[in-house]
Chains A and B, each alone.
Chain A
């Protein structure tokens, strides 16, 4: 692979792209721009439309409506073989009747490149993927982690405009997954190739991505950096899907300029909090409190609660609290041996870290709007 700048590949632009199978809408009309060299993760539960979005981008599925551009090229109606994409499947889909080297060379062979160039590029990518000397191995002889690297090498060697990965670590065990994540990150920093990565594992998304699109119900619920998603989720789904969270039912009394006055039944009081756009009086909403933002005091004007469970995590302690209303609340504290099950405490929260969010998924909302 030639050593060019840290940005390789093309930008990707989806405009109003949707997919319906009969009456079932797998993907609602979606706009998405992935910048050249960016690593974007599609994160969501199964059935959220993330794989549909990936397959539309790859060209394995034709959109019902909308336009897809790779760089300046309109590829909406092009089949995958004409799009110059690199695809890594969850089960790797390595060709079982070919050696490792033949698998990697496949995309170059079908492009009818000269044999010496194919040999050179295959050797380069194998050595980049730390697979030197494996070229003649049968793919069945390779371990899961090695097969994953072969699949990645096969996708990268054709120098794709966009690299697409569909849960590529799903078949690996947990420890291996961790090290492969770091390797993927290192590789992306080195190659800077435009990448779309599909996963349902939020940790994977946080480790790897420049930006994350959280998907649910065939929609991008929120697109933004990891910080955006964690600190400023646009709705209860995103708040619950990223990180740990307490989501308490609330009644929105009034909103103004990004703030809301909400009646928290669990606390039996009305408080003023930050509010996500779309939070409106009378609409269903939740109050988001991250466990690390819960503060405990011996007395004062906090909400009275009882500690019902204590799990020491070393430096931190994970607590489960039961409020007087019966609602439970997760909290995380610097370990303090005085915090024992049965102890009575008063719960307060860090101001500015508590947020009202709409409960039902809203229309796709851009992060820029959420920041406004």
Chain B
């Protein structure tokens, strides 16, 4: 609509716009209602439990903070999530790079190789890892048969098992955003850098890496958040030796019926995640890399 037309028909314009607002509200309504009733309300109710403990409004947080066991669990959760994220970055980088350079049939095959694990349920994959990693499982037998180790390694029911299982499940979440960033990088930018006299390291550090940052940050965020809240894999592969916050919260609810503690634990996790993400968004020069088209 031109400016003149807008001036001539202000009433018609506002009328049509308010009608559009009604339509929008009606279309969004059912989904909003379901979300509010089944998600927001229970969540608010859960969080309110954290502050309505008979012992006082912040007693639950006190319990969590004072117990060295709980502090250990929280620390362990973040260490595992950070290690999973870091190892996923290292493992995903070459895969994403190769994907970005492949074409045609080979690209298709490689992409399906990355996506294929999505077709199998997390539970099935985690159980498979239990079989593979157990004391007399195929991996330990292979290590011993080849003489790499004398005695079977403890690969299960500790952080090693948790890391292996979680990396396996979360790796595609790192590869795909990274691939997306890499494939958008114009090869001529790298040629231009080379022609201007930059060493290979300079070209990587000053051109390639900054242009990969949006994908790297996106993938790392996915992986970090998902690993913080991961339950099945750490529960099955870590057991009682590698307890994470999600396992602790589950045990508050299932074993001790301590709903207020579970609520406080969830809230603490949420708060820490928000702070970390805020810091990351502030510190990483992501928005500059976003110009890379």
A87 to B194, CA, bound (A): 10
Q: Check A96–B211 contact: CB distance below 8 A.
A: yes
CB distance from A104 to the nearest CB of B (A): 10
* CB-CB under 8 A for A110 and B191, given A91-B186, A96-B211, A140-B291: no
Question: Do A97 and B292 form a contact, CB below 8 Å, given A87-B192, A106-B206?
Answer: yes
Nearest-CB residue, chain A, relative to B214: A97
- Tell which of A58, A59, A83, A93 touches B189, judged by Cβ atoms closer than 8 Å: A93
B-chain residues with CB within 8 Å of residue A109 when the two chains form the complex: 206
Q: Is B13 an interface residue (CB 8 A)?
A: no
A106's partner among B186, B191, B193, B293 (CB-CB below 8 A) is B193
B288–A158 touching, CB < 8 Å: no
On whether the beta carbons of B199 and A89 are closer than 8 Å, the reply is no
Query: Is chain B's binding surface mostly helix, strand, loop or mixed?
Result: helix
The answer to whether A110 and B195 touch (CB under 8 A), given A96-B211, A97-B292, is no
Please name the residue on chain A nearest to B293 by beta carbon. Answer: A96
B residues near A154, Cβ cutoff 8 Å = 192, 196
Given A97-B211, A110-B199, verify A81-B293 contact (CB < 8 Å): no
Interface residues on B, range: 20 to 34
B207 at the binding interface (Cβ < 8 Å): yes
Q: How many residues does chain A have at the interface if contact means C-beta atoms less than 8 Å apart?
A: 28
Contacts of A111 in B (CB 8 A): 197
**Chain A nearest CB: distance from B188 CB in Å?**
4
- Counting chain A CB atoms within 10 Å of each CB, the highest count among B195, B199, B206 belongs to B195
A138 CA to B293 CA, complexed, in Å: 13
On whether the beta carbons of B196 and A97 are closer than 8 Å, the reply is: no
Q: Is the CB of A86 within 8 A of B195?
A: yes
Q: Is A79 an interface residue (CB 8 A)?
A: yes
Closest to B205 in A: A110
CB of B292, distance to nearest CB on chain A (Å): 5
Q: A111 vs B194: C-alpha distance in the bound complex, in angstroms?
A: 12
Query: With A97-B292, A110-B202 in contact, do A81 and B197 touch (Cβ < 8 Å)?
Result: yes
- A residues with a Cβ closer than 8 A to B are 58-60, 79-87, 89, 91, 93, 95-97, 106-107, 109-111, 138, 140, 154-155, 158
| 6 nearest A-B pairs in the assembled complex, by CB-CB distance | A107-B196, A110-B198, A87-B195, A93-B192, A93-B188, A80-B195
